[in-house]
Amino acid sequence: MDSRSGILDEALERLHASGPEFQGFLANHGPMAVEALVRHGQAGTVHRWLDHYETKLEDVPGPQATVTDANWREALGDPRRVTDWTAYFTRLVAERPWRDVLAEWWPRLLPGIAGAATHPVIRVGHAVRTLLDDGEEAPRVAELAHALGYWAARHTTLPVAVRPTGTASPAEALAALPRVPDQQVLPLDGLAQLPGTPGWPAAAESLRVPHDDPDAVRAQLVALVRATVHRYLDHGHGHGVLMVHTATAPNAVLRTLPALPRELWAVSLGAVWAASAAITSVYAAGEALPPLEGTGPLSAGEVFERSARHGDEHVIKMTDTALDVAAATADGDDRALAAAVRAQRLIPTGS
């Protein structure tokens, strides 16, 4: 990534002047999208992209009351307190190394990973990737504080506990998930249907989580990201936007693993699998689409350039994850790249 031009830091500073949501519940994807654009050679498009995207955004909400080490439990999961939470994490990362703050708060926030359709953890994953790979400049540390604050404010547990104890691979577990009866619903309404969906808990618990082997956990998480990207190619048309998060959320956790204690890896896999499985059951299409036509040979650089031109933030994020999958495969992964093209075709142009 071109981390020396200053474009990412400039973009983050611009975005921190806006709130994490707009129109009541839509997530501000700006920090995630600009990180991906810069990382994949599209830094020159960032400010123009932001000029368009910022027209949708709203001001930072007013503060309510100070979050402290003593009272944080009272504010957890209260979206009205998002600015209070951001201020709290901003203080923490100013006083302590960001890795220590992340390690302390990750297990506290993890049960609420499904909040805001997993956008907060995805934002954390982009922030951590930058901090690990590209340096700890102040706007990047500030972005982690904003991301953690958003997660704390939108902390939401699933309505049914999921404890994966099975033997299934991610692809097998995804294929076994039943669909909720009514898929034409908002995310929270769809999640509420999970406890009454026949076979859902058993299917969700079928995934293998190798609790005693962190390296195997990481391998299983890599496989989960690949499986969700591939499933988007075939079944993402159930809801082209929301199905993106079934892949980008586990990829966010995968990106964060190197900054976390290894004893947290297994529980992280279990939590993000449950969230991804829930969104899949609510929004995946029942019937697979036929293979894509008219794409020609696919290259990672060209696919991302097309997504940057497309402009929609979900397309950019999905392509970013698809490129991770392709890069992790020895001979590339045409299905992963095709999933990015599918997102370009399913989601309307954003700019």
Last residue of a domain, one of 153, 173, 188: 153
Burial 239-273 (b: 16+ CB within 10 A, else e): bbbbbbbbbbbbbbbbbbbebbeeebbbbbbbbbb
Q: What are phi and psi of 122, to 5 degrees?
A: -65, -40
Per-residue pLDDT tens digits for 63-117:
999 999 999 999 999 999 999 999 999 999 999 999 999 999 999 999 999 999 9
pTM value is 0.96
Residues 322 and 211 in one domain: yes
Q: How many domains does the chain have?
A: 2
Residue 332 binned pLDDT confidence (cut-offs 50, 70, 90): confident
Both tokens of 241, joined, read 């936007």
Residues 99 and 120 in one domain: yes
> Which amino acid is residue 298, in one-letter code?
L
The C-alpha torsion from 280 through 284 and 287 to 291, rounded to 10°, is -100
Say if residue 143 is in the same domain as residue 276.
no
User: Is 176 in the same domain as 293?
Assistant: yes
pLDDT at 351 over 50: no
Among candidate residues 129, 153, 177, the one where a domain is terminated:
153
335 and 317 within one domain: yes
Read off the tokens for 97: 């190394």
Q: Both 103 and 166 in a single domain?
A: no
CB 21, CB 152: distance < 8 Å: no
pLDDT tens readout for residues 202-250: 999 999 999 999 999 999 999 999 999 999 999 999 999 999 999 999 9
Quickly list H helices, 177-264. Answer: 187-192, 200-204, 214-235, 245-256
